[in-house]
Each structure stands twice: as C-alpha cells, then as structure tokens.
Amino acid sequence: MARLIAITGGTGFIGRHLAARHVAQGDKVRFLTRKKSVAGISGAEAYVGDLAESEILRRFVHGVDVLYHCAAELHEAANMERTNVLGTANLLDAAVGEVGRWVQLSSTGLYGAVRNGTVREEAEMLPNNPYERSKAAADALVLAAAERRGLSCVLLRPSNVYGADMPNQSLFQLIRMIDKGLFFFIGPPGAMANYIHVENVVDALLHCAETALSANGRSYIVSDHCTLEELVCSIAAHLDKEAPRLRLPELPVRALAQACSWISGFPLKTSRVDALTNRVVYCSERIEAEMGHHNLVSMDTGMGELVRCWQHGAN
C-alpha cells in the first residue's frame, strides 16, 4: 500500500537516495527545499520553504505517514543553531500529532572524537564542535517530544557515509594517493576505517520507518568497518595496483602536520593523521538484532564503485 512520505533535506546526498527509493516503491513523496530553482526529484513533489516557516511546515507534514528529518546545516557554524536546533523545534511543533512516524537522521559524531574501543548507542555523548553540539540538541528535542508529546520516533546514527555522488572528497583523495603511489600508513597496523554506503543507510532508514512501536524513542548506529590495511588493499586491487607498504611512525608525522598547519594547501593535516590512526569501531549490533538490518553493499563493493567513478572522472 502506497504511503505518504515527507523528507527534509531531500535534495541532499542521503535525501536524494532516500526519495528515489520511496518513489521506486510506489510511495507518494514530498520534499522540503529552500530553492525554487532546485532540480526536481523525479516522481516527488517539492515544497518550497525552510524550517523557520510554520505555515509551509504545517502543509508539508499534513497527513504524512513517515517524516524523515534529514536536513542540517553542515558548514556554516553561524547558522547551525537556527537550522539544526530551532528548525527541528519548529518542525516538531508542526508534526506532533500529525505524522505517523518521525525518523531522525543523526550522526555518530555526537559521541565525540573517540580514538579507541567500541562505541555503542548508550555511550556518553561528547560532541566537540558546533555541528555535533547542534545535532545533539536536535536529537534531545526529538526524544523529549517522544516522551512528553506522544511522538513516535526513531533516531539513526550513521558513521561516515559514502557513495559515488558524495560531496565529501576524502575517499576520492585516498584513491588518488594510492593510484599515484603516494600513500603511506602511519603508526602500527590495526587502525580502523568506519564507513557506510549510502544505500545501506537508506535501507536502515526504511527499517526505522517500518519497525514496531517498541522501538519508539530508541537510537540506532549503522556502520561498517574494516582495518585500514584491508581498505587500502581493496582500493589498490580495484585500481590494479600493488598495495602500499610504506609505514611511518606516528609521532614524527603528527609533529610535522602540526608544524606545517599554517601552510595553506599543505596536504598532511592533523585531522588526516587522526583518521589514519584511530582504532574505534562503531557497533551496529542493535539495529541488526532489533530490526534485522544487514548491510547489503559490502565495503569492497563500495570501494570498487568509488574507484570506477574516480577513474571515469580522471580520464
């Protein structure tokens, strides 16, 4: 039976894939956009407005079976409170008592800069930048609405989301470095790579929308992981290149990154050293056990897709 689906952030990376999946399933889809000239999503209806406009929000959520709140300000810190927190509050005011299920797209970033161990849903929230703090505040508003206002909601926290049309270029940069023979490992073996293909995230969002009411107010991590060595070997194999072997000690590499941080365009950033040496794993056991979710796109398949996309663009 066709359902009425509403998506904020429907023109974003994850939102586009989510809207396309629902349209393919025969659902009626509407999405909120601030731009009148935005390219349409085939088979979906655009509602032009933003999260500050109460009237457009009331029309947007009216009679909706599932509302996915995917919209967020990612880059401009000055607008994060207005969009991510106040915008969520405005949307909640319009949606409570109107929508069948609210699915909140959150982030594992709310757990902070964890460097080691396994992170599960009950881990302490330690957001450490304006974006993460604003998303934590938005999640708190949604959970409060579930407890006090009868909202049926589920929160999904993906790790680093990737796909061929992703705006973040870090994995493409990694592919380029491996292709050119410039990549090197930092520190001892065993660093972890935590990524999740966008289609796996969409699958998880659909599970969140369809799960029983017993999941109301619960949060779920969705991720995939492998060692950095496995990730790099996978990319090298898809490039038909020999896997890199060079490994440098962490402390001098980190010192170099810090010393050269003032140089515009210097490729080795402290954040990059952090990413290449972290040993944390984001655990998806809860969503697997409670919703039967399993990632259908493996890390190796996903890396092959990225390599082919990069090769097409590089030629």
User: In angstroms, how far is the first alpha carbon of the chain from the final one?
Assistant: 45
pLDDT band at 199 (very low <50, low <70, confident <90, very high): very high
DSSP letters spanning 155-177: EEEESEEE-TT-S--HHHHHHHH
Give the separation between CA 314 and CA 265, rounded to whole angstroms.
21
Q: 23-29: long-range contacts at Cβ-Cβ below 8 A with a sequence spacing of 24 or more?
A: 26/2, 27/2, 27/3, 28/2, 28/3, 28/4, 29/5
Across residues 142-169, what is the average pLDDT? 95
Closest CA to 13 of 72, 53, 99, 96: 72
At 214, list the tokens.
């017993």
By percentage, how much of the chain surpasses pLDDT 70?
97
Q: Give mean pLDDT, residues 120-143.
A: 95
Lowest-confidence pick of 73-82, 211-220, 247-256 = 211-220
> Where are the chain's structural domains?
4-163+195-227+281-298
Q: Cα Rg for the chain, rounded, in angstroms?
A: 20
Confidence class for position 274, pLDDT limits 50, 70, 90: very high
Greater confidence (36 vs 16) lies with: 16
Q: What is the pLDDT of residues 277-303, one digit of tens each?
A: 999 999 999 999 999 999 999 999 999
> Computed from CA positions of residues 196, 200, 202, 206, in that sequence, does the dihedral angle turn out positive or negative?
negative
SS3 229: helix
Measured CA to CA, the distance from residue 260 to residue 267 in angstroms comes to: 9
CATH number of this structure's domain 4-163+195-227+281-298, picked from the four choices 3.40.50.150, 3.30.70.2740, 3.40.50.720, 3.40.50.2000? 3.40.50.720
Residue % of the chain over a pLDDT of 90: 83
Contact in structure between 228 and 193 (CB atoms under 8 Å) = yes
Contact 92, 141 (CB under 8 A): yes
Burial of 76 from C-beta contacts in 10 A (0-12 / 13-18 / 19+):
exposed
Average the pLDDT over 196-222 and give the result.
92
Q: How confident is the model at residue 37 (pLDDT cuts 50, 70, 90)?
A: low
Position 40 scores a pLDDT of: 66
Q: Which residue has the higher pLDDT, 186 or 313?
A: 186
Q: Identify the band that residue 157 occupies on the pLDDT scale cut at 50, 70 and 90.
A: very high
Per-residue model confidence (pLDDT) at position 267: 78
Residue 38 has pLDDT above 70, yes or no: no
CB atoms within 10 A of CB 192: 17
Tokens of 28: 């009626």
Most distant CA pair in the chain: distance in Å? 60
Closest CA to 152 of 200, 217, 108: 217
* The token pair that represents 152 in the structure block: 């049926």
- Average pLDDT across the chain, whole number: 93
Determine the 3-state secondary structure of 124 from DSSP.
Answer: coil
pLDDT at 24: 95
Q: Where are the alpha helices (DSSP H) in the chain?
A: 13-24, 54-61, 80, 87-95, 130-148, 170-179, 198-210, 228-239, 250-259, 270-277, 285-291, 299-314
Tokens of 141: 């508003």
Q: Is the pLDDT of residue 41 over 90?
A: no
* Residue 315, pLDDT score: 46
If we measure between CA atoms, which residue out of 134, 152, 287 comes closest to residue 221? 287
* Cβ-Cβ contacts under 8 Å for 267 (sequence gap 6 or more): none
Residue 236 in this model has a pLDDT that exceeds 50: yes
